Structure 1
Amino acid sequence: MKFLDISEVSKQTGVAASAIRHYEEKGLITSLGRRGLKRLFAAGVLDQLALISLGRDAGFSLDEIRDMFGADGLPALSRAGLHLKADDLDRQIERLSGLRDMIRHVADCPAPSHMECPKFRQLIRISTRRKRSRQEKRALPGRS
């Protein structure tokens, strides 16, 4: 079995060596030893790092990603958890699409000033309500 040192892993994946060390500290990947001062990894770490990157792009936390790997380092994905994340992404896409459309309208609005644009004023009101709602949720007992 060929082992890759951390610089080879970084070069092949584009993941910074500092991130690789961090992922190891968080328990997402495991080194097999050292060659001098450099950590050594099995070739399978390349796939693990690709899955970690994919998980990060999808909005999973490192803890959630760690839980997606079995003890053998292979993916052990929860289909239900993936469905929940996909639903969450759908909600984000819907919210961001609406925000994008509103911003485009405001950019092209013929009103003399933004404050005279009814949609811009609506955007401000929505933003204020969302911020207030998030603050209220954080203030609930038992939440941190």
Structure 2
Amino acid sequence: MAVELLTIGQVSARSGVAASALRYYEEQGLISSTRTSGGARRYPRTVLRRLAFVRAAQNVGLSLTEIREALATLPDGRPPTARDWGRLSSGWRERLDQQIAALVQLRDGLDSCIGCGCLSLGRCALSNPGDVAASSGPGARWLSPLLRRVPPVSNAG
């Protein structure tokens, strides 16, 4: 049985991943393609499952390096099965619990505190006299490190 091959445009449309990101993921070893005689990329349909795995792992907060390492545990670069997903994602539960706790802390203090770079030194529940938080570096230093990540830069207009 022949493997159905998809163009980069088809994979992008089906997965919701931009063609530029597909090329980047390929450079990073997360997915692979074959080339036509004219050099155009062709992806096996199974790449869609790998891309779904990548997106889910990114939503958990995994880096591309961590995702590549997880995918590298699969034999012959095949897409993850339900059993693979269960095995690989079981270790991510603690990370999600930490993110949830950090978000609850943020939500509960949202009306009075941004983790210092202070909204109101007069009402500050943590108190930052003399801006002592500045000695720990830039940004809201008392905000959970999980919530201090720099958001991805958008190419949207």
Q: Same fold (TM over 0.5)?
A: yes
Bigger Cα Rg: 1
Higher helix share: 1
Q: 1:39 to 1:124 in 2, by over 3 A?
A: farther
1:1-144 superposed matches below 5 A: 1-34=3-36, 36-69=38-71, 70=74, 71-75=76-80, 76=84, 79=87, 82-104=89-111, 106=112, 114-117=120-123, 120-122=124-126, 124=128, 128=133, 131=136
Decide whether the 8 Å contact of 1:68 with 1:78 is kept in 2.
no
CA RMSD of superposed structures (Å): 3.2
**Residue 145 of structure 2 aligns with which residue?**
none
Partners in 2 of 1:36 and 1:123 — Cα distance? 64
Q: Which runs of 5+ in 1 are unaligned?
A: 108-112, 135-144
Q: Which runs of 5+ in 2 are unaligned?
A: 114-118, 143-157
**Residue 137 of structure 1 aligns with which residue?**
none
Match of 1:4, SS? strand
Q: TM-score, normalised by structure 1?
A: 0.70
C-alpha displacement of 1:67: 2.0
Partners in 2 of 1:123 and 1:45 — Cα distance? 51
Q: Percent identity?
A: 33
Match of 1:96, SS? helix
Q: 1:94 to 1:16 in 2, by over 3 A?
A: same
C-alpha displacement of 1:26: 1.0
C-alpha displacement of 1:101: 0.9
Q: 1:124 to 1:11 in 2, by over 3 A?
A: farther
Q: 1:47 to 1:78 in 2, by over 3 A?
A: closer
